[in-house]
Amino acid sequence: MSRLRRPTKPLVALAAFAALVLALSGCFYFKPNSLSVSQPGGIGSARVHFVICTNSIPDCQPEEDEETVQYLLGIAVPPRSTPPQTITATSPSSAPIVFTLNEQVASEMAAASPSIQQVLDESEAKPEERQLVGGPWPPSGLQGVGYLSGPVQEINGATREWSVDADFGLPVATDGSPFAGPFTAAIAMGFRGVNGEFPADRPVHCVRSEGDPKDSAICLGTNQQSQAGTSDLRIAGPTKATQVFLGGSAPVKFKLNYASTTTTSTFALSAKTSVKGGKAKVGTGATFVPGALDPTSHRAPTATSEVKASAPKNVKPGTYEVTLTATAPQGGTATQVAKVKVVKPKIKLGGVKLNKAKGTATLSVKVPGAGTLTVSGKGLAKTKKKAKKAKKLKITIKAKGATKAQLEQLGKAKVKAKLTFKPTSGIAAKKTKSLTLKQS
């Protein structure tokens, strides 16, 4: 590998670069046919698996050098996938290699790719050599992600290999819709020397033309590419906090959007709330079975799941959370958090309008939600008015019995109206209103 990593002077032409690239003898390579993609959880992250080793022609071969190097790793995935910040390559017989996300590696590998392709086109590369170097990077339709390892000590004569499992979050669409799949991945590699003159924290530069500095990295692709069908479930909660009255409950509605290019699963649904002493219960069945997939988009019709969130009457009013979780049979989960606003129900009294011909009064009352407003009191007829949502109600106050007789005899009567609003679910709100009924 030293011929490739430690040139005594800058590369002077692509021809020289070609000779170096096609004379690879040992270093960091991908084991042939080791790349695979899977989705262990049934939904959620896609796992990109591959094996790296000291030489892969035809299989892992012994090292031919003993020096300190850094490895560059490129993984191409669908755009807007979420990459892990670090990737660890593990081996039963060697120290692990930790790769850290590095934007320079991604951009430099892409910049060097055209030069490497020109080398291949102008050379008589053997099929196994082309498998090492590969095609354009990143492959069409994919987004390249780069990683840089810490210093690695290579050991002359040692044959080593490391296994890599990198979990990438499925792409997130701008409109929040689920990723239909399949998930495709490709891999690329690179390496550079590390010593007192060239430290590990120096900028990354991949050789791509004559005149490149001698501390540049050799960046190569491979034509290993793999894909797997995936499933994705996106849960959306209400945009505004759902109001829950003290001592009551309210339905919190979630939208479930599912897409898949593999076998459709039935999901177990569960819910929890941060309301102290409160409960969150999923509606009937507590399962989600996606509808038929559209053959073109691979998406199921949007479904709705309702969670009944409750709050004890003695809890502190405030904004809390309700979380809905869907779990696939393989263990993967999708979650969404919604806000609930726990409040004490209150009514606001408005103006009074007297009807002297009938001896009644009409009172405006603003109620905070669905429920029943009742007016009562000594000498007053009980009257009720229902509301389906928060609104302003107008309720009639009428005298009865002795109070009604007084009103008819004297033309007026003082009364104290007791107003009670009982929400559909929750504790009642009460207020009183003193007024004088008049009749003429």
pLDDT digits (tens, 9 = 90+) for 15-56: 445 444 444 434 678 888 899 999 999 999 999 999 998 765
CA distance readout (Å), 45 to 37, 80, 254 = 11, 13, 22
Start-end ranges of CATH 2.60.40.10 in the chain? 232-343
Residue 114: predicted pLDDT: 85
Query: What CATH number should be reported for the domain whose range is 348-438?
Result: 2.60.40.1940
Strands (E), 46-125: 46-53, 68-77, 86-90, 97-101
What's at 268, amino acid-wise? A
170 backbone dihedrals φ, ψ, rounded to 5°: -60, 150
Residue 127: predicted pLDDT: 64
Residue 14: predicted pLDDT: 44
Contacts by residues 15-22 (CB-CB < 8 Å, ≥ 24 positions apart): 15/122, 17/115, 17/119, 17/207, 18/119, 18/122, 18/123, 20/218, 21/116, 21/119, 21/129, 21/133, 21/218, 21/220, 22/119, 22/123, 22/125, 22/129
Residue 155: predicted pLDDT: 78
Residue 361: predicted pLDDT: 97
Closest CA to 96 of 162, 156, 157: 162
CA angle 384, 385, 390 (to 5 degrees): 140
Residue 131: predicted pLDDT: 59
Residue 417: predicted pLDDT: 96
Within 10 angstroms of residue 419's Cβ, the number of other Cβ atoms is: 21
> Low-confidence residues of the chain, pLDDT below 70?
1-27, 55-65, 120, 122-134, 157, 210-211
Start-end ranges of CATH 2.60.40.1940 in the chain? 348-438
| Coil, strand or helix at 71 | strand
Q: What is the pTM of this model?
A: 0.83
Q: CATH says 232-343 is which class?
A: mainly beta
